[in-house]
Structures are given as C-alpha cells and as structure tokens.
C-alpha cells in the first residue's frame, strides 16, 4: 500500500489485512504471478457499482510487481489477465484509481485507460 500511495499511506499489517479482507469478503480476488514457486507480483480485482448511473463495472484495486522485476512487462501481463477475467464476468468497463505521480500511470495509458475523474486536495495547515 505504501508504494501504491507513494508513501502517503503506511497502514499497519493488521489494518492492511482488514482492508484486503473486506474486499475479499465482497468477492474480490487476487491473480498472482509466479515463476515456479517464486512469487513475482499480483493484481487484485473485483466489481464496483456506479450508484449515479446505476450500473456495474470491473475494478482493479491493486497492481504490484516486486521492485527488482519492474520494467520487464510483468505488470502489463497481470493487467491483461485481470482485464480478461473481468470481461469474462460480463463487465464492459474497467476502472482503477491511481495516485498522481505513480509510474504505473504510463502503463495504464498505454493500455487504453483515460482520466475519468480527478481528485484534488488542499492542505489546511
């Protein structure tokens, strides 16, 4: 979570476990990349609902590739597999959220993702 939020969020193992467990309880699942029995990365996928448009969509909650393996196409392979799974489930749209400045944005753009909404912040110090 720390990598995905560019260090902004550093939840305890317990808090991270509760967040992930709540997604798994809602039917989300991990797709894992391994080489033999060597773990390489994962993508967490599930569904979401647009309450304004009253329709469902596929959602990519998290993409992670071990740092030494980044830049070798593994993230793209995980994303392609995630999108294929969501399409098989009948989703016609896939969404994700990403922190500004995250290097994965370039991958997402190359795969056809575009800006849909923009979240802004203002410090009140």
DSSP letter for each residue of 6-45: TTS----HHHHHHHHHHHHHTT-EEEEEEETTEEEEEEEE
Count other C-beta atoms under 10 Å from residue 79's C-beta: 23
9-49 pLDDT, tens digit per residue, is 566 778 878 888 899 999 999 999 999 999 999 999 999 99
pTM of the full structure: 0.83
Q: What CATH superfamily is the domain 13-110?
A: Gcn5-related N-acetyltransferase (GNAT) (3.40.630.30)
How far from the centroid of its chain's Cα atoms is residue 63's Cα? 4
Entry field: residues in the chain: 125
User: What pLDDT score does 5 carry?
Assistant: 41
């Amino acid at each position: 979570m720390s990598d995905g939020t560019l260090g902004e969020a550093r939840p305890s193992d317990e808090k991270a476990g509760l967040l992930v467990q709540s997604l798994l309880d809602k039917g989300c699942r991990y797709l894992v990349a391994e080489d033999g029995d060597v773990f390489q990365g994962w993508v967490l996928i599930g569904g979401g609902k647009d309450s304004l448009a009253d329709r469902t969509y596929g959602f990519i909650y998290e993409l992670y590739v071990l740092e030494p393996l980044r830049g070798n196409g593994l993230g793209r392979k995980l994303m392609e597999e995630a999108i294929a799974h969501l399409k098989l489930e009948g989703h016609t749209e896939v969404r994700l959220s990403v922190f500004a400045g995250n290097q994965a944005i370039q991958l997402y753009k190359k795969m056809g993702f575009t800006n849909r909404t923009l979240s802004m912040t203002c410090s009140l110090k």
